[in-house]
Structure formats: structure tokens, C-alpha cells
Chain A
């Protein structure tokens, strides 16, 4: 009984090792480079250097996730490193920004969503079916609520 619960709990996701992350990131960046070249007029060589920069930022973030005792998700560390590396006060930040500019941000999300579409499990479809239309309406309202709520408060204080 208990196994179905742990299987369905998305927070209990299998952990891959750091070296596996390093290898997968190479594949992801290669797919990203193809996407970037298809979607934009940016020469493949420029996109290549840009993706190497993003790869290094991601890896530094992953290493920090392992080393630092404060528990933050790896994406939080990665964005922190990306921010620190490109602050106007950071030496060499102009070069990093210039390289990263050669990668289109929206194209980078495309492979991720392809994996997400392929990853949908049978259980997830079963849950969606059995929860029915009520939970669908509630979910749409939940997402609308967080978006409108944040936009409303932000507008008040801008």
C-alpha cells in the first residue's frame, strides 16, 4: 500500500548523482543548441559558447546544492549563481552577459516541456480522470487566483 504513495509523491523523486547530472546537462545543452539555431539567426558557434557558460553556471549551482548545508532546491542555487556572475559589480560580468545573450531564453524551455509531456505517468492521468471536473475548475481558479493576487498587490506598490 505504502509504495503507491511514495511512487505518487513527486517530492520523493529519484536522486541522480552529480556525474549523471553533468552528463544529462551536456545532452540537454546540445538539444538546446539545436533549438537555438533553428529558432533564431544566432550563429551556432556563438550559441555554443553561450550554452557552455550556462552549463558552467548550472554545474556550480549543483555542486553548491551538495556542499552547502542550507537546504535550498538546486534551481535556487543555479539562479543565485547566474545572478551573482552577471551583477554589474562582478569582474568579467560583461563577457558572461554577452555570451548568455546569444541563447534565446524561450527556446531553452522547449526541451524541458517535451520531457514533461513524455513523463506523464498513468497514475497522473488516472488522478485527473477520477478527480473529475470539479478539481479541474478549482485548479484553474487556483492558478488564476495566484496570478491575479500577485499582479494586484504588485500594482498597488509599484
Chain B
């Protein structure tokens, strides 16, 4: 295990992040118009790609600059790096507390919308893609850290359910910011949902995904920026607070029941091979 100070003072890592930040901010927001709306490319997305490009696990030749020890040092720093951002969100929510209380019922109830993962993803995973019990772990939630803890606790991470939740977690880590930036920019320009509703939906329970989601929304509708950030931030705090309970007491039992209804009976035999 690395010593704490080696992680903290890993200058090669911090200098890389500094340079990536400068490059990304110099490029700035790029708007790509497509048929039904437009997609916003944000500096944070470039930063993620540039980070991957100097990651020796992705590009072998990057190993001359970034070592394996830098890669493992970067991991605990992600959570710390998001903290000033989360603090900033708090300072946007506070002044708008009255509007947030007005939106209270919608804000609370939309947490149930996180069950949309079961409505949309689960039937396709089981019926179309013919997946086994990994569909339970994959579809009961958006698969961020608290949800992994639920599955690890109940089935263990080496179970089929564990494979499912880890698969979605990893894809979310790799592509989540892009997916939410695309979803938010398309829907904000398509006009199906109100901007307030889309803002609340950005509270996913992951700092970086919320950043991509709100960034796209606020860039698309700059005149509503403060309101978007306040609603998304409040919803994100609620998701931190309620997510684990929704997962344990509602989402996972429902997914289990649905699997008994829809799932193939032969998957249990296959698993026993």
C-alpha cells in the first residue's frame, strides 16, 4: 500500500491534471447541432478523455509519463476533487431555499423515478438480451457506490448479480458523463419535459454525472441557470439520503419479483454448470 504522503504529493499526477484543466477550459463549450436538438460538449468531458489518453491502462505508451502508482493514487483523489464543486452547489441551493420548498412534493416524488431503470432496462435485459440473474444487479438501480454495497451485502460481488452491478458501474464510470450530457442536451432542446423537471432528474447521486447533466442543461438554457443548479443539487442531496433505502426496500425486491415472472427458468440450471 502506498504511503499517504506519496498519494497527496504525487506531483506528476497533479501537474497532469492542471495541464488537462487548462487545455479543456481553453477549448470551452462546443455546440453540435443534430436533428432533434443539439449536443453540448463540455470541458469536463474533454478532461476525462485527456485523462484516459495519458492513462497507461488505456494507451500503453503513456506509461513513460504516468506510472501505475500514479493511476492508483488518482483513485482516492476523485472524491476529494469533487468536494469544492459540491460545496459550490450547496451555496447555490441555500439562497433559493424558498423555491425549493415550493417544489418540495415534485422533488421528493421524483426520487421514485429512479425506478425507471427497472421499467426501461430490465425487460430488455431479460426478454430481448436473454440475460440471467446479472440483469437483477444491472437494472435495479443506476449502480453507483451505495448500490454496489447493497448487492455486495446481499449476493456478494462474485455472484451473477454482482457481475451485473459491476458491469453497469464500470460502463457508468467510463461513459456516464457523456450519456447524461447527451440526454440532458437533447431533452432540453426537444421540449418534451419542463426544464425544472429535467434539472431535478439530474440529481443522480453521482457528482460527476450531475456535473455533466446540469452543465449541459445550464448551457442550453442559461437564463435559468441558478434554478437548474439549485433543483439538481437539492435532488442530488435527496438521492444521497434516500437512494440506499429505495434500493434495499423497493427497487431490489421489485426486480427480484419481476425476474421470477419474466426470467428464463433454465438460467438457474445454466448457472449451476
Contacts and interface: CB of A to CB of B under 8 A. Distances in A.
Interface stretch (B31-39, B120-128, B256-264, B265-273): B120-128
Contacts of A138: 121, 124-125, 129, 131, 135, 138-139, 164, 167-168
Interface in B195-220: 196-198, 200-204, 207-208, 211-215, 218-219
Contacts of A145: 116-121
Contact of A115 (B78, B106, B120, B168): B78
A25 B84 contact: yes
Nearest to B28: A39
B242 to A, nearest CB: 11
A59 to B, nearest CB: 9
B18 A34 contact: yes
Interface in A95-125: 96-97, 100, 103, 105-122, 124-125
A141 B120 contact: yes
B91 A100 contact: yes
A119 B74 CA distance: 5
Top 6 A-B pairs, shortest CB-CB distance: A82-B90, A117-B51, A149-B116, A86-B94, A150-B113, A149-B113
A113 B142 contact: no
B84 A108 contact: yes
A143 interface: yes
Interface residues of A, number: 101
B91 to A, nearest CB: 4
Nearest to B88: A105
A109 to B, nearest CB: 4
A120 B70 CA distance: 11
B83 A25 contact: yes
Interface of A: 5, 8-11, 13-14, 16-17, 20-21, 23-25, 27-29, 31-32, 34-35, 38-39, 51, 53-55, 57-58, 61-62, 72-76, 78-88, 90, 93, 96-97, 100, 103, 105-122, 124-125, 127-128, 131, 134-158
Interface in B1-36: 1, 4-5, 7-9, 13-14, 16-18, 20-22, 24-26, 28
Interface of B: 1, 4-5, 7-9, 13-14, 16-18, 20-22, 24-26, 28, 42-45, 47-55, 57-58, 66, 70-72, 74-95, 97-98, 103, 105-107, 109-121, 124-125, 129, 131, 134-135, 138-139, 141-143, 145-146, 148-149, 152, 156-158, 163-164, 166-177, 179-180, 183-184, 187, 193-194, 196-198, 200-204, 207-208, 211-215, 218-219, 229, 233, 235-237, 240-241
A94 to B, nearest CB: 9
Contact of B76 (A5, A13, A53, A105): A13
Contacts of B95: 86-88, 93, 97
Contact of B113 (A35, A93, A154): A154
A61 B83 contact: yes
B14 A27 contact: yes
22 contacts: A21-B80, A38-B26, A55-B87, A82-B93, A86-B93, A105-B88, A106-B43, A106-B218, A117-B54, A120-B51, A120-B57, A120-B71, A138-B164, A139-B167, A142-B117, A143-B179, A144-B183, A147-B201, A149-B120, A150-B111, A153-B109, A158-B196
